[in-house]
Amino acid sequence: TQLLEQSPQFLSIQEGENLTVYCNSSSVFSSLQWYRQEPGEGPVLLVTVVTGGEVKKLKRLTFQFGDARKDSSLHITAAQPGDTGLYLCAGDMRFGAGTRLTVKP
Amino acid sequence: GAVVSQHPSWVICKSGTSVKIECRSLDFQATTMFWYRQFPKQSLMLMATSNEGSKATYEQGVEKDKFLINHASLTLSTLTVTSAHPEDSSFYICSATPGGTSAFGYTFGSGTRLTVV
């Protein structure tokens, strides 16, 4: 079983701060996905990273895939209260435990 | 974009009864759909892979006879929780993608909150 470990599990920050969420595994993935989930709803796909070393940007969100394709990170710049939610990484249809982010105004 | 619809969005049932949850791909055909379960404040756990026209593939530890999956058409998969018990109360979510398999991510339904009393 390929396990995805996410850290931190919980993160509470003030509006305007930057943060990074990590997704690590001992296994190699052909691709990793990042999702965001609101309470009571299904996850929504943010991005897919495919190539080792790849960096993708989505407005204030920057996603990176490790060179060895075993890990990924999500960096949010100048976080806003609207960024609050559960961030999940996934590979081969399996999910990490998630990072629950709270951004306080 | 691809849309996956789940129904019902929530259901309350009595212990011992069965509940059917539907997952539909609205604007694409899905030969493969995935069913997940999510307990409060936890991540999604893959339960089974639903294959159109053939038997579902269940993850280790998931009881086939308890969680019946039927994928009779290219746009509909159903999950039936049989003889439900309170411990089956959870958030059930399905996902699919055009073409059946994708390394580029999947679209999820909005989930079904099951409460067994």
| Residue of B35, B44, B91 for testing the chain A interface, max A β-carbons within 10 Å | B44
- B33 touches A: beta carbon within 8 Å: no
Q: How close A36 gets to chain B, by Cα (Å)? A: 11
pLDDT < 70 stretches in chain B: 99-104
Average pLDDT for residues A39-59, to the nearest whole number?
A: 94
Q: What phi and psi, each to the nearest 5 degrees, are found at residue B66?
A: -90, -40
Q: How close B65 gets to chain A, by Cα (Å)? A: 23
Q: How close A69 gets to chain B, by Cα (Å)? A: 13
Report the pLDDT value the prediction gives residue A3, as an integer from 0 to 100.
87
- Distance of alpha carbon B2 from the chain centroid: 17
Report the pLDDT value the prediction gives residue B39, as an integer from 0 to 100.
93
Cα gap B79→B97, rounded to integer Å:
18
Closest CA to A46 of A17, A67, A75: A75
Ordered DSSP codes for B23-92: EEESSS--SEEEEEEE-TTS-EEEEEEEETTS--EEPTT--TTTEEEEEEETTEEEEEE-S--GGG-EEE
Report the pLDDT value the prediction gives residue B109, as an integer from 0 to 100.
96
Q: Which of A1-10, A16-25, B92-101 has the lowest mean pLDDT?
A: B92-101
Q: Give the type of residue at B104.
A: F
- A23 touches B: beta carbon within 8 Å: no
Report the pLDDT value the prediction gives residue B8, as an integer from 0 to 100.
97
Cα gap A20→A75, rounded to integer Å:
4
Q: What phi and psi, each to the nearest 5 degrees, are found at residue A98?
A: 95, 155
Report the pLDDT value the prediction gives residue B83, as an integer from 0 to 100.
97
Report the pLDDT value the prediction gives residue B99, as an integer from 0 to 100.
67
Please check the confidence at residue A64 and state whether its pLDDT lies above 80.
Answer: yes
Q: Do A50 and B103 touch (CB under 8 A)?
A: yes
Collect all residues with Cβ–Cβ distance below 8 Å to B2 and sequence separation of at least 6.
B25, B27, B28, B96, B97, B98, B107
Q: Give the DSSP letter of residue A67.
A: T
Where residue A89 falls among pLDDT bands split at 50, 70, 90?
very high
Report the pLDDT value the prediction gives residue A87, as an integer from 0 to 100.
97
- B29 touches A: beta carbon within 8 Å: no
CA angle (B49, B43, B69) in 5-degree steps: 25
A98 HSE (CA, 13 A, CB side):
22
- On average, the pLDDT of chain A sits at 95
Cα gap B92→B88, rounded to integer Å:
10
Closest CA to A85 of A66, A71, A70, A100: A100
Cα gap A55→A44, rounded to integer Å:
20
- B25 touches A: beta carbon within 8 Å: no
